[in-house]
Amino acid sequence: MAKEKKFVEAITSMNEDFAQWYTDVVRKADLMTYSSVKGCMIIRPYGYAIWELIQKELDRRFKETGHENVYMPMFIPESLLQKEKDHVQGFAPEVAWVTHGGENELAERLCVRPTSETLFCDHYKDIVQSYRDLPKLYNQWCSVVRWEKTTRPFLRSSEFLWQEGHTVHATYEEAQEETIRMLNVYSSFCEEFLAIPVVKGQKTDKEKFAGAQATFTIESLMHDGKALQSGTSHNFGDGFARAFGIQFLDRDNQLKYAYQTSWGVSTRLIGAIIMVHGDDSGLVLPPNVAPVQLIIVPVQQHVEGVLDKAYELKERLSKVCRVKVDDSDKMPGWKFSEHEMRGVPLRLEVGPKDIEKNQVVLVKRENREKLFVSMDELEEKVPQILSDIQKSLYEKALAHREERTFTATTLDEMEKILNETPGFIKAMWCGDRACEDLVKDRMAATARCIPFEQEKISDKCVCCGKEAKHMLYWGRAY
């Protein structure tokens, strides 16, 4: 049968060809497929279910911190995009332009939003009048378009799903506080929910968002040692407010420009989950973000009583986790591989002998560890095991990152690490853009961030040898 056949074809091993391994996993775990529009993907039910879990949890955390959801139009008139000059320079080269509505040419071109700062600003200038109107803490869930030349599923596609928070404040300090608050929401979400450890820090001027005064980032390390920018939070100062005329009457009766932030994470996080936790058997999902946390596979399901027992256990366990029974007519071995490929954290096997002994076999996806558990204790044990797995995945990812975090004091050292054992490299920097450019030209690595937790690796810039200002995380990135 076609559907089973594909599981016979083993996926490429990670060490052999990581890029091909990634492509194999996203396709064979049915997370996405390609569409007839270049660079745009179809997110399939299993991939979308992961995104729904991410959305639900993030949305809860946004609302808990006082944010409200809104919806802005997907189009931006060309003249509006041009209002903030750094911003338009950053985005204009990669937007899709709508020129016709029905049969008629439009009087002004519209771009499909690559991000919505300009739309939010245009709205804020109308609704913010007084200090009483502040802060405004808005977020929106939507899709955005950036016309990318080379694309990779979830990591870089011409259209992707994300959320973008946009806030307005009375003072610079409040805007900065919000910028860091949301960075922290992202980092705790990644660590607690996705089991992905992150480094928090500030982007260099070269790498910051077009139009931002300061960009903060969470950076994570993939299994192959490449970095992934996993979320960003920007402080705009009053730059956009001045460009768009967002002013308010303050308590002191003075008309002042407002201060703004924006912050976003996207379906790229699904790419991070795959590349941080996956292995040669496919996807490995942290239980918190697994659409199916426990799969029940009946063994000798034709034997009377086995399927009934499987359904009974499902009924019971559905109260404590997301559970399914695989009662298809495939062989158990096929089912094991299929659900391993799909990263289901825990498998429950139940057959005639288990029923006799009033026990089941639980198998952890992460390491195939087998546990024999009495049927009477399942409601108690399963949530505990899922919680252990969640913790263990985080610890493994953290250990991998620590093992792959190096220090360097010379460019030769940096290059050697990048070529032999790629990972994060902590090295000093003088603060000059020229040094960043040189590193990028020579070894295709970028400054990932100026981490909040600074260390002194040496006194001198790794590149020019002048006095160092900051310690940076460097790396090759997706």
**Residues of this chain that bind a copy of itself (CB under 8 A):** 1-3, 33, 35-37, 40-45, 48-49, 51-52, 68-77, 80, 92-103, 110, 112, 119, 122-123, 126-127, 129-130, 132-133, 138, 142-143, 145, 147, 158-159, 161
For residues 232 and 190, the answer to whether their CB atoms sit within 8 Å is no
Between 125 and 364, name the residue whose CB sits nearer to a copy of itself. Answer: 125
The amino acid that residue 233 corresponds to is: S
Between 75 and 311, name the residue whose CB sits nearer to a copy of itself. Answer: 75
| Phi, psi (degrees; rounded to nearest 5) at 29 | -85, 5
Between 130 and 374, name the residue whose CB sits nearer to a copy of itself. Answer: 130
DSSP state of 42: E
Between CA 167 and CA 5 the distance in angstroms is: 51
At closest approach, how far in Å is the CB of 215 from a copy of itself?
A: 23
Between CA 335 and CA 441 the distance in angstroms is: 48
Between 110 and 348, name the residue whose CB sits nearer to a copy of itself. Answer: 110
Pairing of strands 159-169, 259-266: antiparallel
Pairing of strands 32-34, 359-364: unpaired
At closest approach, how far in Å is the CB of 279 from a copy of itself?
A: 26
At closest approach, how far in Å is the CB of 36 from a copy of itself?
A: 6
Between 92 and 371, name the residue whose CB sits nearer to a copy of itself. Answer: 92
Between 160 and 394, name the residue whose CB sits nearer to a copy of itself. Answer: 160
For residues 355 and 306, the answer to whether their CB atoms sit within 8 Å is yes
* Nearest of 429, 440, 433, 431 to residue 463 by alpha carbon: 429
Both structure tokens of 137: 């803490």
Between 126 and 412, name the residue whose CB sits nearer to a copy of itself. Answer: 126
Sort 70 into a burial class: Cβ within 10 Å, 0-12 / 13-18 / 19+.
middle
At closest approach, how far in Å is the CB of 138 from a copy of itself?
A: 7
At closest approach, how far in Å is the CB of 120 from a copy of itself?
A: 9
Between 71 and 420, name the residue whose CB sits nearer to a copy of itself. Answer: 71
Between 202 and 260, name the residue whose CB sits nearer to a copy of itself. Answer: 260
Between 45 and 305, name the residue whose CB sits nearer to a copy of itself. Answer: 45
| Partner residues linked to 474 by β-bridges | 425, 447
Dihedral, 152, 155, 157, 161 alpha carbons, nearest 10: 150
Sort 105 into a burial class: Cβ within 10 Å, 0-12 / 13-18 / 19+.
exposed
At closest approach, how far in Å is the CB of 296 from a copy of itself?
A: 19
Q: What is the total residue count of the chain?
A: 478
Count CB-CB contacts under 10 A for residue 108.
9
Between 41 and 378, name the residue whose CB sits nearer to a copy of itself. Answer: 41
At closest approach, how far in Å is the CB of 123 from a copy of itself?
A: 6
Count CB-CB contacts under 10 A for residue 476.
19
At closest approach, how far in Å is the CB of 271 from a copy of itself?
A: 15
At closest approach, how far in Å is the CB of 284 from a copy of itself?
A: 22
**3-state SS class at 78:** helix
Between CA 354 and CA 360 the distance in angstroms is: 6
DSSP state of 38: T
Between CA 144 and CA 114 the distance in angstroms is: 5
Both structure tokens of 154: 């979830």
At closest approach, how far in Å is the CB of 192 from a copy of itself?
A: 24
| Partner residues linked to 405 by β-bridges | 424
The amino acid that residue 431 corresponds to is: G
At closest approach, how far in Å is the CB of 161 from a copy of itself?
A: 6
At closest approach, how far in Å is the CB of 381 from a copy of itself?
A: 28
Between 44 and 314, name the residue whose CB sits nearer to a copy of itself. Answer: 44
Neighbouring C-alpha atoms within 13 Å toward the C-beta of 147: 10
